[in-house]
Structure 1
Amino acid sequence: MSNEKFLGIAILLFIIYIGITTYPKLDIVSGFSAKSVASGHFIDGRSLEIIENGDNYIDNVRLATNEINEQDIFVISSAFGLKKRKAIYREGLGVTLINDDFDETKPYLIPKRTKIETNLSFPYGNLEPKDSLLPEVNYEKLNLAVGDAFDKKGEKIKRTRALLVIYKDKIIAEKYEEGFSKNTKFLGWSMTKSITATYFGILQHQGKIDINKPAPVNEWANDERSKITLHNLIQMNSGLEWEEDYGTISDVTKMLFIAEDMAKIQLEKPVAFQPNTHWNYSSGTTNLLSGILRRQFATHQEYLDFWYSSLIDKIGMHSMLIEPDMAGNFVGSSYGWATARDWAKFGLLYLHQGNWNGEQIFDKSWAKYVATPTPTSNGEYGGHFWLNAGGKYPDVPKDMYFCGGFQGQKIIIIPSQDLVIVRFGLTEDEDFDFNGMMRGVLESLRK
């Protein structure tokens, strides 16, 4: 065989291999890109350039081509001209990634929002934080620790976009990357999971649900899944089968970028382990919980309103938007947007054990519950919150727990230090020294 013929066969086989392994992933690539561009642009006003060079600068995703339609408020994305996907923006709901069967002309409901104007300063009102210096804070050390969390000019290593430090309810440090500000709305990704779980704490506080009873899922009534409790789901140790792998076509990528009804994906999975014996992180479980919440209300409107009236607007997170799937379920696993200050209010609610300026939103015991390690999680996970009980961050108190999201989004709660730290960026633990950042902040507090 001639070298030319051998080379030709080798190239053909390579093309076939790439086609077999890559082509099915293009739906995921273009779907991710369309959703990301539409949300970043229509919710936060980011330019296509900022999104493509920042939010979407991820292997494979950055290869997508994106077109923004300003007039009809949607985005079309494709990968190499193939697998075009569409994401639409609807006022009051945010962005939804849709398929060809979705009826864009069909009327839709939006949550009723209530914004109460007050003359109180942050965090309990709409006024700017009071300008005050705390004698126990070494501001020189603090500013060095905060500044060190950001890249020097021209670098793209740490990629922090926002860092907010709140001590004794006061903002003692606040810094943003150029192009971002206190008004920027940030996607929390899986930090949204902690918000979703909180609604079960609220309903339990109201005497409307018992998390220790079997999950109210009629489809499980006559099989072994009937033993799964809400507690098991909230701790992510239900035993249900689930694959959380973002690098391939898996349960989670099919759910987020293909499924019409995201609440159904985990619901339809079989049992792989006995409940309470095997911790397995699952975005599907959180979206199932969102679907279970929907079933607690007589109407879809009541479900939509509850997310805002019972928590989000009640504690003044007025910039927040939780986006829905095609079936109208809030994507509680991933799609919450808000300013850094509003995300911080959620952390403060937990720091104060559910009490918001005198009103108890959930029982004090709920804050303890979510920070209690899930069996077999090695002290890393609780009730839809990540923990430091296992000492992952060695220079940080073990009572620290946090909401965590893709690319290093974090709301860090340290009860023993009366401290909340909020960080947004584009880097995970492997590339950003969270332990060092928290250590620096803690060392600035003279105690």
Structure 2
Amino acid sequence: MKIFKRVLLLLILVVGIVFYINYPKLNMISGYAAKYLASSVLVGNREPESVVANDLDMPLVRLATTAYNIEEASASASVYGLMGRKAIDRQGLGTVLVNRHYPEGEIYIQPQRDTTFITKPYPYGHLKPKDTVFSEVDYEQLQKAVALAFDDNEVQKTRTLLVLYKGHLLTEKYVDGFTKDTPVLGWSMTKSILATCFGILEKQGKLEMNWPAPIPEWKNDERKKITLNHLLRMQSGLEWNEDYTTISDATSMLFLESDMTKSQRNKNAIAKPTEVWNYSSGTTNLLSGILRQQFRTQSEYLDFPYEAFIDKIGAYTMLLEADLGGNYVGSSYGWASTRDWAKVGQLYLNKGRWNGEELFNDDWVNYITTPTQFSEGRYGAHFWLNSGGIYPDLPKTLYSMNGFQGQYVFIIPSKDLVVVRTGLAENPIFDVNRFLSALLKATP
């Protein structure tokens, strides 16, 4: 009997320790579930049941119990009834996790959009794509490549695929529940959208990449040497932990902070600028805050990404979500249809030109595709690169916008191709090299 009591006591102690260690994680789990569910329904136009059954069926997150409230346009989640979180809709700004300090019924500023119908064929307008047949394209091989992307799809989990060739729609495919108009969360592809805003401001002569970051708190310490270039290249030398499996800088920022621009701003320097390369979502949100500083009013800041290029290229399904402080979450929360993500890729393939207007300079593409020191040729300036040969059978000049769970916009200048793939599994489960090398065999 004494042995039994000791074993029971030890078991209770172990369970207690495990619970104590993991209890704070419940906040992240319920926060992720509530936020993702709310945005997927209200921005992505998905059915709540489908989101829960598919998107939220992942380690730890599946522990959350979720509910969607149609009347409130909100979603909530908790884990075993603990750490309840709620996400609400703010028209024009997406959804946001609220806290006990959030004032119900608060009036907030939202961006103004210009959604004028553009009378040109897709991708340069909103008319149907031209029914173009290219004599040099091997269409049989093209379909083999498309089939490869959706092969064994319970594992690969590809949802949408689109290929532009020479500015024309070559092919597209969608699984059930997704169409050409369905907004898809780009996750970290949003980083490239935020960076584009800086390229446009540079063309307008309003800033330069070698300028010191305008952060008052840094003026009297070693951080004063950090430039915009260092931030865009993730080589600021600032402390940051980008770990999504535990309570880290990244997860704390996304699921606990009201103002996400401050998370990286308040970190200490652990190295001099350029001495290390450290991928940081906090850096992108810091840049979002710096972008906000370039404008006199909140309205001008919110309008800028749309009026400067998103609406100009007719990407009307694109929406950038904001935090409670009204800052765009440039690290993670950009939505757009597969066709509109492809438009961004085509804009870069065109080196900033769209329907006769130059939105950013040619040199901006050279800048963002120049490898960053210590990234092993994988990273430029908020864009991913293949210059280091991570995809051995693909051109070294390929560059891309990448997001969590395998969201990709590949730009392949040597082939005049833009390829968009979205889904729930990333490389190597979705084998990028295998798929794209098969696709490239279809074009000269």
Same fold (TM over 0.5): yes
Matches within 5 A, 1:41-440: 41-152=41-152, 156-440=154-438
2:136 and 2:212 map into 1 onto residues whose CA distance is: 48
Amino acid of the structure 2 residue aligned with 1:325 = D
- Listed one character per residue, the Cα deviations across residues 126-173 of structure 1 (whole Å, up to 9, x for unaligned) are 111011111111111111111111145xx5101000010111011111
Amino acid of the structure 1 residue aligned with 2:38 = A
2:411 and 2:422 map into 1 onto residues whose CA distance is: 15
Amino acid of the structure 2 residue aligned with 1:174 = E
Amino acid of the structure 2 residue aligned with 1:173 = T
- Listed one character per residue, the Cα deviations across residues 358-378 of structure 1 (whole Å, up to 9, x for unaligned) are 211000000011011001100
Q: Is the 8 A contact 2:118 2:314 kept in 1?
A: no
Q: Report the 3-state secondary structure (helix = DSSP H, G, I; strand = E; otherwise coil) of the residue aligned with 1:44.
A: coil
Q: Report the 3-state secondary structure (helix = DSSP H, G, I; strand = E; otherwise coil) of the residue aligned with 1:59.
A: coil
**Structure 1 residue 3 displacement after superposition:** 4.4
Q: Report the 3-state secondary structure (helix = DSSP H, G, I; strand = E; otherwise coil) of the residue aligned with 1:50.
A: helix
**Structure 1 residue 76 displacement after superposition:** 1.1
1:2 and 1:148 map into 2 onto residues whose CA distance is: 62
Q: Count matched residues.
A: 444
1:139 and 1:422 map into 2 onto residues whose CA distance is: 18
Amino acid of the structure 1 residue aligned with 2:288 = S
- Listed one character per residue, the Cα deviations across residues 345-400 of structure 1 (whole Å, up to 9, x for unaligned) are 00011111111122110000000110110011000000000000000000100000
Unaligned runs of 5+ in 1: none
2:166 and 2:31 map into 1 onto residues whose CA distance is: 42
Q: Is the 8 A contact 2:161 2:174 kept in 1?
A: yes
1:163 and 1:17 map into 2 onto residues whose CA distance is: 46
2:154 and 2:105 map into 1 onto residues whose CA distance is: 43
2:208 and 2:156 map into 1 onto residues whose CA distance is: 43
TM-score (norm 1): 0.98
- Show structure 1 runs of 4+ deviating over 4 A: none
CA-based RMSD of the aligned residues comes to 1.0
1:248 and 1:210 map into 2 onto residues whose CA distance is: 37
**Structure 1 residue 272 displacement after superposition:** 0.6
1:173 and 1:61 map into 2 onto residues whose CA distance is: 34
Instruction: Name the structure 2 match of 1:22.
Output: 22
Give aligned-pair identity as a percent.
51
1:66 and 1:174 map into 2 onto residues whose CA distance is: 33
Amino acid of the structure 1 residue aligned with 2:312 = K
**Structure 1 residue 294 displacement after superposition:** 0.4
2:14 and 2:122 map into 1 onto residues whose CA distance is: 58
Instruction: Name the structure 2 match of 1:12.
Output: 12
Unaligned runs of 5+ in 2: none
**Structure 1 residue 50 displacement after superposition:** 1.1
Amino acid of the structure 2 residue aligned with 1:89 = D
1:92 and 1:200 map into 2 onto residues whose CA distance is: 22
TM-score (norm 2): 0.98
Q: Report the 3-state secondary structure (helix = DSSP H, G, I; strand = E; otherwise coil) of the residue aligned with 1:113.
A: coil
